[in-house]
Amino acid sequence: MPAHHTGFETALPAVVVGGGPAGLAAALALARSGVETALVASPPAAGAPPDTRTAALFAGSIRLLVNIGLWDAVAGHAAPIAAIRLVDDTGGLLRAPETSFTARDAGLEAFGYNVPNQALVDALWEAVRAEPGLRLVAGSLLVEIKADAERARLTLGDGRQLAARLVVAADGRKSLCRAAAGIATRSWSYDQAALTCTFAHSRPHHAVSTELHRNAGPLTTVPMPGRASSLVRVERPAAAERLKSLPEAAFRDELERRLQGLLGSIGEIGPRAAFPLSGLTAEPFAQSRVALVGEAGHVIPPIGAQGLNLGLRDAATIAEIAAAAVARGDDPGGPQALDAYARARRIDVTSRVWTVDVLNRSLISGLLPVHMVRGAGIAALNLLGPLRRAVVREGLEPSGPVPALMRDDFRAPGGAAARPGDRSGDRSGDRPGDRSGDRAGDRPAASGPA
């Protein structure tokens, strides 16, 4: 299918709109799957404050980073998550038993890795600039998009114009692309806010992420390199703002008390941020030449580390479907391709949105029967090994087909097993999460939560 970079007369196979992690990953995934792509996004401004958040990326997301050649650039900043511990801290009379899930339940050395957002985004931007099959269109925002039977026409604020068969919308929860395609959304909010930061501590975390289930919402610590962890603490909005504004010494004392000695004495506290919790889903996930990825298609609270992992599965899926269409000489933004993408993503997204919502609401509910059901479910996970292993597998990756870019056997166009700088080659012992080589020295050495 012919493609040209400017004007409305002919169209690129794909344009990605949005420069967050999901959008950058989608652009690279498309380009490295053989789909000529433009990316409408601007790199972070020089001198912008660093992003101190972190993301817990599961095994499939790590394999995606390996297969698009990014893992080496990120690995040195990441820390493995070998186990997840759930603790009932609601203070009720009927408390669920403490439950632990280990990576070995899923046949892995690690569930995934805790990756600093800044390191991930820096690596993505570096790869975008170096990718020959990807054209960066920076310096101006998208202001209009119109689609017809042949292509989508995009106009930027500075007057530049692009045309594409497929528009991958990664432009966030207030997506202009989604609105232009006429895709409906359902949104909701919670009377909660999440407080995030990083902190040092005196006791080792042993690569264990701990989630305290509390009436206000979960409090989660996620391993960082050394004796440090990242924190996601869900509270009522007023309480989150109060905690955010506390002097560091007072916040340190309060966190140490809340963790009840779990990680020993609390040391240096990183920058704190608070944001309200909300949810959003789109239906369908694609139409009128627009496919939604990341928060353009789904927003969920930072519980269970599902958000960015979902967005990266979106990116891998649309790249696979678009590449297959281009290889057949078909339209990557036509109804057949878009329907395939919408079907592929619907169950995965819907099931995770529902699960996170139910878990969160069960914690903040004041109804005793709700807490009894939640406790009984956790007790069953404790007692029934096959059920626990099934839950672990489903939490890490969706049942059903896994996108090619999230598999160990991915082959880039031309048959290459790996790109320069990636670790996927034939050294199975080096693969993140692979049990074939437990070489602790190869584990990444850096940061925290989603």
pLDDT digits (tens, 9 = 90+) for 103-154: 887 788 898 999 999 999 999 999 999 999 899 999 899 999 999 999 999 9
Q: Looking at the predicted structure, is the pLDDT value of residue 3 above 80?
A: no
Please report, rounded to a whole number, the percentage of residues in the chain having pLDDT higher than 90: 60
Tokens of 211: 């989630």
Are the C-beta atoms of residues 404 and 410 closer than 8 Å to each other? yes
Lowest mean pLDDT among 1-10, 275-284, 333-342, 350-359: 1-10
pLDDT tens per residue, range 425-434: 333 334 444 4
Is the per-residue pLDDT at 305 higher than 90?
Answer: no
pLDDT at 355: 76
Class of residue 407 by CB neighbours under 10 A (exposed 0-12, middle 13-18, buried 19+)? middle
Instruction: Return the number of other C-beta atoms located less than 10 Å from residue 345's C-beta.
Output: 25
Residue 398: predicted pLDDT: 66
Do the beta carbons of residue 109 and residue 433 sit within 8 Å?
Answer: yes
Query: Among all chains, which residue has been given the structure tokens 């004392």?
Result: 253
Q: Does residue 169 surpass a pLDDT of 50?
A: yes
Cβ(133)–Cβ(31) below 8 Å:
yes
Q: Is the pLDDT of residue 50 over 90?
A: no
Angle between helices 368-383 and 335-364 (to 10 degrees): 110
Strand ranges for 103-217 from DSSP E: 112-116, 134-137, 142-147, 152-156, 161-169, 184-201, 208-213
Q: What is the pLDDT of residue 447?
A: 34
pLDDT at 200: 97
The pLDDT assigned to 136 comes to: 95
How crowded is residue 9: how many other Cβ atoms within 10 Å of its Cβ?
Answer: 8
Summary count for the chain: helices (H), strands (E): 11, 20
- pLDDT reading at 219 higher than 50: yes
Residues near 331 by beta carbon (within 8 Å), at least 6 away in sequence: 1, 165, 325, 337
φ/ψ of residue 179, rounded to 5: -65, -40
Residue 2 pLDDT greater than 90, yes or no: no
Phi, psi dihedral angles at 38 (to 5 degrees): -110, 145
| Lowest mean pLDDT, pick from 96-100, 383-387, 436-440 | 436-440
pLDDT category at 93 given cuts 50, 70, 90 is low
- Per DSSP, helices labelled H in 2-57 are 21-32
pLDDT at 276 (0 to 100):
93
Token digits of residue 124: 């993505």
Contacts of residue 281, Cβ cutoff 8 Å, sequence gap at least 6? 185, 186, 297, 298, 299, 349, 350, 353
In this prediction, residue 420 carries a pLDDT of 34
Torsion sign across C-alpha atoms 321, 409, 110, 377: positive
Q: Is the pLDDT of residue 95 over 80?
A: no
For residue 13, what is the DSSP state?
E
Contact criterion met (CB below 8 Å) for 217 and 94: no
State the pLDDT at residue 59.
87
Those residues whose C-beta lies under 8 Å from the C-beta of residue 394, and which sit 6 or more positions away, are none
pLDDT computed for residue 311 by the predictor: 95
Residue with tokens 């909701």: 188
Contact between 218 and 374 under an 8 Å Cβ cutoff? The reply is no
How much of the chain, in percent, has pLDDT values that exceed 70? 78
AA identity, residue 198:
T
Question: What is the helix (H) or strand (E) element at residue 67, kind and residue range?
Answer: helix 59-67
Helix (H) or strand (E) holding 38: strand 37-40
DSSP element (H, E) containing 122: helix 117-130
Residues 419, 133: contact at Cβ < 8 Å?
no
User: What separation, in Å, do the N-terminal and C-terminal C-alpha atoms of the chain show?
Assistant: 39
Do residues 386 and 394 touch, judged by C-beta distance below 8 A? no
Nearest Cα to 37, choosing from 173, 143, 138, 131?
131
3-state secondary structure of 106: helix
- Residues 263 and 363: their CA atoms lie apart, in Å, by 24
Residue 129 burial (CB count, 10 A): 10
Report whether 437 contacts 184 (CB < 8 A): no
Mean per-residue pLDDT for 143-168?
A: 95
Q: What is the pLDDT of residue 99?
A: 80
109-113, 251-255, 389-393, 440-444: range with lowest mean pLDDT: 440-444
Mean confidence (pLDDT) of the chain: 83
How far is it, in rounded angstroms, from Cα 46 to Cα 126?
14
